[in-house]
Amino acid sequence: MTKLPEKNVLDGNKQPRTTTGEMKSALGKLRDYLKELLGEDSSDKEAARQALGINLKQWAEQIDSKADSEEIQSAIQNKVDRSELEGKTLALEAEIAKRGTPVGSIDYFAMATPPAGYLKADGSQVGRETYPDLFAAIGTTFGSGDGSTTFNLPDLIDRFAEGSSTPGVKREAGLPNIAGVVGPIDDYSSSNLTGSFYNAGAIGYDATSGNTGNGWKLGFDASRSNPIYGASDSVQPPALTLLPCIKAFDAATNPGLIDITGLANEVDGKLDRVIDSKPVRYVIDAYNDGTNWYRKWSDGWLEQGGQTSKSNQAITLLKPYSGNDYTLVMTVSDAAAPSYGALVGAIPYVKTTTSFTPRIYYTNANIDSNCNWYTTGQGI
């Protein structure tokens, strides 16, 4: 066992005075001595521990008296396991959600983007499986969407909310009617006035032969018909625009409440493609059976075409247009007999949003002939 350094080396009484090297050596010996003090038993170490008042047996008894291994293990086993803790956490979160804003609530926000858990209340169609709790709350009150897989959100853009026991009714702008009657006017009598008309006072006029008396002024005041008029200087009340939103799911307690795949598909279907800050059109629907075809673009523009061999026979369009102003082009693809004369052209005889009737004219006849047709315009 390492020997302790001389006492006078450490207490400053050594002569000559302790050097730096001697002090470093003494401290090193002291460190090694203490390090070895509690190591394997030997008579020297035991004597040193007794000299310092260290009783290892007493220390061991104190440690044993604190808690044996069985008690520690039992205490650990009695703790709540992870699954039980998670179950209690979910129950607590569900209870908190009940006390928060319920799904289907309408709130207004000062920012342009809905916060987590909300959708913009703009009348959009959303998936029934994507937002099952919201669909369970409002159903098809504000529109049935496509009738099977989607439903409509309430539309509060450019509208004021009105309290009603029947949610979902849209009221268009309007004012009460203004009514009044002017009865037969004879001389200055004003007894035949009703509604908004009234006698505004007599006026004099030059009498003609055989006629004397006074005339009167006809007044008009809408408030006489309905007191709502004149009660305000404007139909539009003072207002501050905010973003109307509907609570769709509880983002804090259960992000899995929505179908992530369905949501991704919805977002992808509504995504605006932009290149160099300019929106880019893209085809969202297409069809081609070898004879007839169509292409529908993201901005609603529609193209379609086909072939026909009949003149004066209606052709039903594969997709309807929003109006009759769509462009229609027809070309004749084969030649008729010489007796029919020269081709004059192919024109639509009847044209609607859903069909047209072609006519193929030659100088001497209106006959059947193979014809290619093409239309383009705004679809619906």
Same domain for 264 and 324, yes or no, is no
**Which pLDDT tens digit goes with each residue over 265-296?**
566 555 555 566 666 778 888 888 888 999 99
Same domain for 54 and 92, yes or no, is no
pTM beyond cutoff 0.85: no
Parallel, antiparallel, or unpaired: how do β-strands 371-378 and 150-152 relate? unpaired
Q: Taking 90 as the threshold, does the pLDDT of residue 304 lie above it?
A: yes
Same domain for 12 and 120, yes or no, is no
Same domain for 311 and 350, yes or no, is yes
Q: Which helix (H) or strand (E) holds 89?
A: helix 82-99
Query: Is the pLDDT higher at 9 or at 134?
Result: 134
Query: Is the pLDDT higher at 207 or at 111?
Result: 111
Please compute the mean of the pLDDT values over residues 312-339 and round it to a whole number.
78
**pLDDT interval class at 141 (50, 70, 90):** very high
Same domain for 247 and 343, yes or no, is no
Is residue 276 exposed (0-12), middle (13-18) or buried (19+ Cβ within 10 Å)? exposed
Report how far residue 229's alpha carbon sits from residue 177's, in angstroms, rounded to the nearest whole number: 10
* Residue 219: count of CB within 10 angstroms of its CB: 14
**pLDDT interval class at 132 (50, 70, 90):** very high
**Which pLDDT tens digit goes with each residue over 81-96?**
666 766 777 777 666 6
Q: Taking 90 as the threshold, does the pLDDT of residue 119 lie above it?
A: yes
Q: Which of 12-16, 37-41, 75-79, 233-237 has the lowest mean pLDDT?
A: 37-41
Q: Do residues 230 and 223 lie in contact, with contact meaning Cβ atoms separated by under 8 Å?
A: yes
Report how far residue 377's alpha carbon sits from residue 327's, in angstroms, rounded to the nearest whole number: 6
Please compute the mean of the pLDDT values over residues 146-158 and round it to a whole number.
93
Q: In this structure, is residue 178 part of a structural domain?
A: no
Same domain for 304 and 372, yes or no, is yes
Same domain for 262 and 289, yes or no, is no
DSSP string, 268-317: HHHPPPEETTEE---EEEEEE-SS-EEEEETTSEEEEEEEE--SS--EE-
**Residue 304 φ then ψ, to 5°:** -160, 160
Report how far residue 380's alpha carbon sits from residue 378's, in angstroms, rounded to the nearest whole number: 7
Helix and strand element counts for the chain (H, E): 8, 19
Same domain for 140 and 262, yes or no, is yes
Q: Taking 80 as the threshold, does the pLDDT of residue 48 lie above it?
A: no
**pLDDT interval class at 334 (50, 70, 90):** low
Residues in contact with 196: Cβ distance below 8 Å, sequence separation at least 6, in sequence order = 178, 179, 180, 220, 221, 222, 223, 224, 225
Residues in contact with 151: Cβ distance below 8 Å, sequence separation at least 6, in sequence order = 125, 126, 128, 135, 138, 139, 140, 142, 143, 144, 145
3-state secondary structure of 8: helix
Q: Which of 13-17, 72-76, 368-372 has the lowest mean pLDDT?
A: 72-76
**Residue 245 φ then ψ, to 5°:** -135, 155
Q: Which helix (H) or strand (E) holds 85?
A: helix 82-99
Q: In this structure, is residue 49 part of a structural domain?
A: yes
**Which pLDDT tens digit goes with each residue over 11-20?**
777 778 777 7
Mean pLDDT of the chain: 76
pLDDT for the residue numbered 70: 66
Highest mean pLDDT pick, 110-114, 224-228, 257-261, 335-339: 110-114
How many CA within 13 A on the CB side of residue 118?
19
Q: In this structure, is residue 328 part of a structural domain?
A: yes
Same domain for 259 and 326, yes or no, is no
Q: Which of 115-119, 305-309, 349-353, 363-367 has the lowest mean pLDDT?
A: 363-367
Total domain count, the chain: 3
Please compute the mean of the pLDDT values over residues 43-60 and round it to a whole number.
67
**pLDDT interval class at 298 (50, 70, 90):** confident
Q: Please report, rounded to a whole number, the percentage of residues in the chain having pLDDT higher than 90.
A: 21
**Which pLDDT tens digit goes with each residue over 208-267?**
555 555 566 677 888 887 777 877 666 777 889 999 999 998 765 455 555 555 665 566
Q: In this structure, is residue 267 part of a structural domain?
A: yes
**Residue 241 φ then ψ, to 5°:** -75, 135
**Which pLDDT tens digit goes with each residue over 165-178?**
999 998 877 777 77
Same domain for 259 and 148, yes or no, is yes
Q: Taking 80 as the threshold, does the pLDDT of residue 79 lie above it?
A: no
The CATH number assigned to the domain holding 317 equals 2.60.40.3940
Please report how the helices 20-37 and 43-52 are oriented relative to each other, as an axis angle in degrees rounded to 10: 100
Q: Taking 80 as the threshold, does the pLDDT of residue 34 lie above it?
A: no
Query: Is the pLDDT higher at 116 or at 107?
Result: 107
Choose the final residue of a domain: 271, 293, 315: 271
Domain that holds residue 253: 87-158+238-271
Same domain for 263 and 138, yes or no, is yes
Q: In this structure, is residue 124 part of a structural domain?
A: yes
Per-residue CA distances from 327 to 223, 258, 376 (Å): 53, 44, 5
Q: In this structure, is residue 96 part of a structural domain?
A: yes
Q: In this structure, is residue 71 part of a structural domain?
A: no
pLDDT for the residue numbered 22: 81
Residues, the chain = 380
Q: In this structure, is residue 233 part of a structural domain?
A: no
Same domain for 297 and 374, yes or no, is yes
Highest mean pLDDT pick, 125-134, 206-215, 348-357: 125-134
pLDDT for the residue numbered 370: 73
**pLDDT interval class at 49 (50, 70, 90):** low
Report how far residue 233's alpha carbon sits from residue 231's, in angstroms, rounded to the nearest whole number: 7
Report how far residue 168's alpha carbon sits from residue 154's, in angstroms, rounded to the nearest whole number: 7
